[in-house]
Amino acid sequence: MKKLLILLLFPLMMFSQDSTLIGDVDCSGEVNSQDASLILQFVTNVIDSLPCEANMTGLTPDQLQEMIDMMQEQLSINYTGGSGNVDNLRFPEGISGDILNITLSLNTSLSYTIPSGKRLYITKIFSWSESMYIDGILIIENVGQNSYRDIFSPIIINSNQVVSIEPMNENLGTLYFNGLLVDEKEEFEGVTLQDLYTVPDGKSLFINYASPGSSSIQLIDDLFPSGVNIHNVGTVEDLMLPLMFNSNQQIDFNSNIVNGYLVDEDYFSSAGSGSIGNGTENENNQNEDGSIVGSPVDNSEVDGTRIYYIDNNSIMETDEFGSFSNTIYEPGGGNVIHYLYVDESTQSLYWAESVASNSGWIKKSSLNNFTPENVASVFDENFSVRFNEMWVSSTGTVYYSIGNNIYNNVNNNSNVLYQHSQTVYSFCVDEELDQLFFSDHGEVFDTNTGSSLWNNAWTYPSLVCHSDDKIYFAYGETEVSSMDYSGDNLTTIFSNTSVSNFKISDMFIFGDENPLFFFGNKSVISKYSSEIGWVIICPINTYNSLGYDAEYTFSIGVLE
C-alpha cells in the first residue's frame, strides 16, 4: 500500500522548486523507458527500492501509462492479429500449426523429437509421477507434485530437440503434454538457460517459464552491479507474461532453469500498423501501441440482443443467435483482458486489462464510438488470476472484486469496500435499496448483516440482483435458482445436470414474467427460457487466450 500511495498522494505536483524531474527514478536526467521498467518493477514489489525514489512523488496514473507506452515502443512489441497469424508475446511465430497430444511411457515412447523445420509450443503437461527433460536437461521436476502444470506462457522447443522422461526411473509412469507445432522462423530461437547469461548484441530475450529454484532471478547492470531481484521463483514457476530483457543485459538465473526465446530487436516491429478484417468484413484499425480497435456491427445485421464476450484475448460481439462474430478490441503490448461489463444505461463497455501480473487498468469506451480510455489504475497481486466481477453504479463508480476484496474507485483510489476470508467469486448490488451480496466458492452472503443466505460447497455461485427483489444465482453444472434477499423462498429456475463442461460463470436476465437468461459458460455462450429451453449460442476459447482455466472467471455483457 505504501508504494501505491507514493503514486497517488500528490497528483497535482509536477515539479519541485529546483530541478526534480518527475518520473526520473534512475537519476539519469531524463524520463525514458528505463524509468518505466524500474517503476513497474517497484510498484509490483519485484524490487524494493529505486535510485531516485523521491522523483515518483506527483507521478499520476496517466503519466505512468505514457511511460509504459514509451517502454513498449522502444521494445517494438506490437500485437497484431488475424486468422492463423497472431504475432504476440506468447506465440511469436503465430498460431497456424498442428495441435499435438503426446504421451510418453514404456508402452508408447520415452521421448519425442521435434521434426526438422518445426518448433513446439507446449501449453499443458500432466503426470502423476514423472519429470520432463529437454535434451536431457531437467525442465520440470516431479510434475506429479500438483498432477499437472498450468503453463501461462508456452515452453518453446526447437527443431530436432528431444522432450523425454527419465529412462532410469524404475517406477516409470506416464507423462502427457499438449501443444502446438508450427513452422520455425529463421530469425527466432527457443532457449533453455541456467546460471549467468548475457543477451547477445542486437537481440531481445523473452523468458516464458522459470522452474522452481532456491534463488531469485537477478538483473545485473550499472545501477545494480551486485544484482537486483526481478523474479522470486520459490515454488511457483508460472509467468502470466514473459520476463523481457534488452540487448547486452546480463541476467543471473542462479539455480533456476528457464525457457523462452531470442529474437532480433526489431522482430515485432515488422507488425507495424494497418488494418485487419473480421468475420463481418468490417475493418479494424491498428494503433501505434499495437492495440486494435474495431467498429460495431450495424444494428440492421443484429438479430435480437447484442452480446459482448472475450475470446482469444479480444473483445468480441455477436447476437443471441450467433449469426456473426465481430472483433471490437484487441490490446497491444502483451496486455491481457480479464473481465468485461456492459453498462446498458450509458451504452458503455468497461473491462479489466493487465499490463503485468500484479497491475493494470480498468478501461471503458462508448459502444457507439469505440475509443478506449483509462478509468482507474489497479495494483493487486491477484489481478491476473483472481479478477472475478465488475459492476458500475448509476453515477459511474466502478465496483470490482479481486481475490478476497471488493473495491470501488471513489476519488480515483482503489478503496477496499469489503474484505472476505476467501476469494470473492461474484457479487451483485441493489443500488436502490443499498444492498450488496456476494459469493465465495459455495456460499452467498449479505454484507449488511454478515449472514450466510445459501450454502453448497464448491459450486461457485454467480449472482444477479434482479428487479423483483430477488437474488438469482447460477451454480454447479448449469443450474439456476432464486431466493429473496432474506434467503427465503428458494426456488429452482433451471437445472440441466445431464450436461458437463458447461459450468455457468456469468449470467444476465431480461424480463420478469418469462425471463430470458444469458449465460457465460466454461466453453460456450448460451441462453435459456421456459419457452425455448437451453440453447448454445456460440463457442468460446477463453482458456487459451487468458493463459489460465477460465472455468470460473469468464464474463459476458448483454445489450438489448
User: Is there a contact between 336 and 241 (Cβ–Cβ < 8 Å)?
Assistant: yes
User: Is there a contact between 368 and 392 (Cβ–Cβ < 8 Å)?
Assistant: no
CA–CA dist 207, 192 (Å, integer): 9
| Best CA proximity match to 147, nearest among 130, 167, 169 | 130
Side-chain half-sphere CA neighbours of 375 within 13 A? 24
CA–CA dist 38, 416 (Å, integer): 27
- Residue 556, number of CB atoms within 10 A of its CB: 23
Kindly state the percentage of the chain with pLDDT values over 90: 29
CA–CA dist 462, 505 (Å, integer): 6
Fold of 2-75: Type 1 dockerin domain (1.10.1330)
| Confidence at residue 306, expressed as pLDDT on a 0 to 100 scale | 94
Asked if pLDDT for residue 261 goes beyond 90, the answer is yes
Angle between the 61-75 and 33-43 helix axes, to the nearest 10 degrees?
A: 120
CA–CA dist 273, 541 (Å, integer): 26
Q: Residue 473 is which amino acid?
A: F
| Confidence at residue 546, expressed as pLDDT on a 0 to 100 scale | 39
| Mean pLDDT of the region 148-166 | 81
| Best CA proximity match to 555, nearest among 356, 286, 353, 397 | 353
| Confidence at residue 458, expressed as pLDDT on a 0 to 100 scale | 85
Residues near 389 by Cβ (< 8 Å), separated by ≥ 6?
Answer: 339, 400, 401, 424, 425, 426, 427
Asked if pLDDT for residue 286 goes beyond 70, the answer is no
Reading the block at residue 422, the C-alpha cell is 476467501
Q: State the architecture of 425-560 in CATH terms.
A: 6 Propeller (2.120)
| Confidence at residue 104, expressed as pLDDT on a 0 to 100 scale | 87
DSSP state of 299: G
Looking at per-residue confidence, does 108 or 550 come out higher?
108
Residue matched to cell numbers 483510489: 413
DSSP secondary structure of 51-96: TTGGGGTT--HHHHHHHHHHHHHHHT---B--TT--BSSS-TT-S-
Reading the block at residue 399, the C-alpha cell is 465496483
Looking at per-residue confidence, does 356 or 498 come out higher?
356
| Confidence at residue 454, expressed as pLDDT on a 0 to 100 scale | 96
Summary mean pLDDT of the chain: 77
CA–CA dist 190, 384 (Å, integer): 25
Looking at per-residue confidence, does 124 or 442 come out higher?
442
Asked if pLDDT for residue 116 goes beyond 70, the answer is yes
Instruction: Kindly report, residue by residue over 328-378, the tens digit of the pLDDT.
Output: 999 987 888 989 999 999 999 999 998 888 888 999 999 988 889 999 888
| Mean pLDDT of the region 21-41 | 70
Asked if pLDDT for residue 236 goes beyond 60, the answer is no
Looking at per-residue confidence, does 489 or 216 come out higher?
489
Looking at per-residue confidence, does 226 or 51 come out higher?
51
Asked if pLDDT for residue 166 goes beyond 90, the answer is no
The pLDDT-based confidence of 480 (bands split at 50, 70, 90) is: very high
Task: Give residue limits of the domains in the chain.
Answer: 2-75, 97-266, 425-560
Asked if pLDDT for residue 148 goes beyond 60, the answer is no
Instruction: Kindly report, residue by residue over 43-87, the tens digit of the pLDDT.
Output: 544 456 777 877 776 666 566 666 655 554 544 333 333 333 333
Handedness of CA 208, 263, 333, 310 (dihedral sign): negative
DSSP state of 516: E
Asked if pLDDT for residue 162 goes beyond 80, the answer is yes
CA–CA dist 1, 77 (Å, integer): 30
Q: Report the alpha-carbon angle 520-522-525, nearest 5.
A: 35
Highest mean pLDDT among 280-294, 378-392, 496-510: 378-392
Reading the block at residue 381, the C-alpha cell is 497481486
| Mean pLDDT of the region 539-552 | 47
The pLDDT-based confidence of 394 (bands split at 50, 70, 90) is: very high
| Mean pLDDT of the region 194-201 | 88
Asked if pLDDT for residue 138 goes beyond 60, the answer is yes
Asked if pLDDT for residue 267 goes beyond 90, the answer is no
Looking at per-residue confidence, does 364 or 379 come out higher?
364
Tally of residues, the chain: 560
| Confidence at residue 277, expressed as pLDDT on a 0 to 100 scale | 34
| Mean pLDDT of the region 377-390 | 87
| Confidence at residue 54, expressed as pLDDT on a 0 to 100 scale | 76
User: Is there a contact between 253 and 191 (Cβ–Cβ < 8 Å)?
Assistant: no
CA–CA dist 49, 26 (Å, integer): 11
- Helix (H), strand (E), coil (C) string for 448-488: CCCCEEEECCCCCCEEEECCCCEEEEEECCCEEEEEECCCC
